[in-house]
């Protein structure tokens, strides 16, 4: 990594406080002139780096620089391969291509915007600026249950947001996260199986978080149903830190996926349990969500008193009229 990258990482580690040019030069093993040159180059790239004459350099507390370097400062060792883009068509598409080329377990693609964000059931996923879009390559080996991974991804986001933002999100089975009654995060897990061995080649867990997306950035039809964590832009946690926290949480959950230890947490934050839901089957029907089993399948009780197990599909928490 070059001087510019090292300087950004150092300031990210000390965000909000000023580090003297002398101290930076000492830590990076370079001259003060080289520090000044790297700082100017970063500023020219749009990094909101403040220089106090004779006082040193700092990153503003609300600076939100999303690059591979800032992301690495928040990821614990061992380091994972990263691709960080300002804009891409879809981080899931990029991660799948990367997985096919051999990207190892834990590789992550991150973008600030997507031009062709993919949602579940062939839908698109609005991905305007201010959001955080990431896809993580998982290599499950012999076992691999995409529904459990999806549920684990929801818990990973819920934990990361709680830990960094102090906000408790609610989980709408199976993979949406809600804040103040509106969708704030969508998750799309895509998997490829080796037909000869029957084992899972890879799972790509794609996560889109409306982070400091202004409400006006959503299309009119999404306004009543979508929100973001900081619609007024008042976030103080950089998206690099949030992306790293989601990655760390998901990889930790993945290690013990078969134990299902995370399912009580998934149930505790469920938006649907105990509620009347509409199962969007053909034709749709109403039922009461009564449980989530150990495979993260939803148990519903129909009007006739029968219990049904939903393995996948869509439910709505609003009665269909």
The binding site for ligand BTN (CB under 6 A) comprises: 90-92, 114, 117-120, 123, 125, 133, 135, 176, 186-188, 206-208
Nearest distance from C-beta of residue 142 to ligand BTN, angstroms: 26
- DSSP state for residue 142 in the 8-state scheme: T
How many whole angstroms separate alpha carbon 317 and alpha carbon 321? Answer: 12
* Closer residue to ligand BTN, CB minimum distance, 1 or 311: 311
In 3-state terms the chain splits into helix, strand, coil percentages (rounded to 5) of: 30, 25, 40
Q: CB of residue 2 vs ligand BTN: minimum separation in angstroms?
A: 29
Shortest Å, Cβ 297 to ligand BTN = 18
Q: How far is the CB of 71 from ligand BTN (least distance, A)?
A: 15
Smallest separation (angstroms) from ligand BTN to the CB of 173: 13
In the bound state with ligand BTN, the residue whose beta carbon lies nearer, of 24 and 110, is 110
In the bound state with ligand BTN, the residue whose beta carbon lies nearer, of 57 and 125, is 125
Distances (CA, A) of 308 to 93, 269, 314: 34, 22, 14
Min dist CB 291 to ligand BTN, Å, is 23
Q: What is the C-alpha radius of gyration for the chain, rounded to an integer number of angstroms?
A: 22
DSSP for 166-225, please give it: ----EEETTTEEEETTEEEEEEEEEEEE-TTT--EEEEEEEEEE--S--GGGS-TTTTTT
Of the pair 133, 179, the CB lying nearest ligand BTN is at: 133
Q: How far is the CB of 223 from ligand BTN (least distance, A)?
A: 16
The residue number with the shortest CB distance to ligand BTN is 186
CB 84 within 8 A of CB 115: no
Number of residues assigned to the chain: 321
Q: Are the C-beta atoms of 47 and 65 separated by less than 8 Å?
A: yes
- Asked if 6 and 52 touch (Cβ cutoff 8 Å), the reply is no
Close Cβ partners of 113 (under 8 Å, ≥ 6 residues apart): 86, 87, 127, 128, 129, 131, 133
For ligand BTN, give the closer residue by CB, 39 or 187: 187
Distances (CA, A) of 101 to 19, 68, 137, 175, 241: 41, 20, 12, 28, 27
Q: Which is nearer to ligand BTN, 63 or 99 (CB)?
A: 99
Q: How far is the CB of 247 from ligand BTN (least distance, A)?
A: 13
> How open is the CA angle 74-78-83, to the nearest 5 degrees?
65
125 versus 218: smaller Cβ distance to ligand BTN: 125
Closer CB to ligand BTN, residue 8 or residue 244? 244
């Amino acid at each position: 990594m070059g001087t510019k990258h090292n300087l950004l990482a150092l300031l990210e580690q000390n965000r909000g406080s000023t580090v003297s040019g002398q101290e930076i030069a000492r830590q990076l093993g370079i001259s003060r002139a080289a520090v000044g040159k790297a700082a100017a180059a970063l500023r020219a790239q749009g990094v909101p780096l403040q220089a106090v004459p004779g006082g040193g350099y700092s990153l503003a507390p609300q600076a939100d620089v999303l690059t591979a370097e800032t992301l690495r400062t928040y990821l614990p060792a061992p380091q994972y391969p990263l691709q960080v883009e300002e804009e891409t068509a879809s981080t899931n598409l990029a991660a799948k291509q990367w997985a096919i080329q051999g990207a190892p377990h834990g590789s992550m693609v991150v973008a600030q915007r997507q031009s062709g964000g993919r949602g579940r059931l062939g839908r698109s996923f609005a991905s305007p600026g201010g959001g955080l879009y990431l896809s993580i390559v998982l290599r499950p080996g012999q076992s691999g249950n995409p529904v459990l991974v999806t549920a684990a991804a929801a818990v990973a986001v819920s934990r990361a947001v709680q830990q960094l933002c102090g906000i408790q999100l609610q989980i709408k089975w199976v993979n949406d996260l809600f804040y103040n009654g509106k969708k704030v995060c969508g998750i799309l897990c895509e998997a490829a199986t080796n037909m000869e061995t029957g084992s899972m080649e890879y799972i790509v867990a794609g996560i889109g978080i409306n982070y400091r997306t202004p409400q006006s950035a959503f299309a009119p039809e999404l306004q009543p149903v979508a929100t973001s964590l900081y619609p007024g832009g008042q976030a103080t946690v950089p998206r690099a830190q949030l992306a790293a926290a989601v990655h760390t949480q998901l990889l930790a959950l993945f290690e013990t996926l078969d134990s299902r230890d995370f399912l009580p947490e998934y149930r505790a934050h469920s938006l649907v349990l105990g509620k009347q839901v509409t199962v969007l089957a053909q034709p749709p029907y109403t039922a009461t969500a009564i449980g989530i089993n150990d495979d993260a399948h939803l148990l519903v009780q129909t009007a006739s008193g029968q219990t049904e197990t939903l393995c996948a599909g869509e439910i709505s928490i609003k009665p269909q009229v």
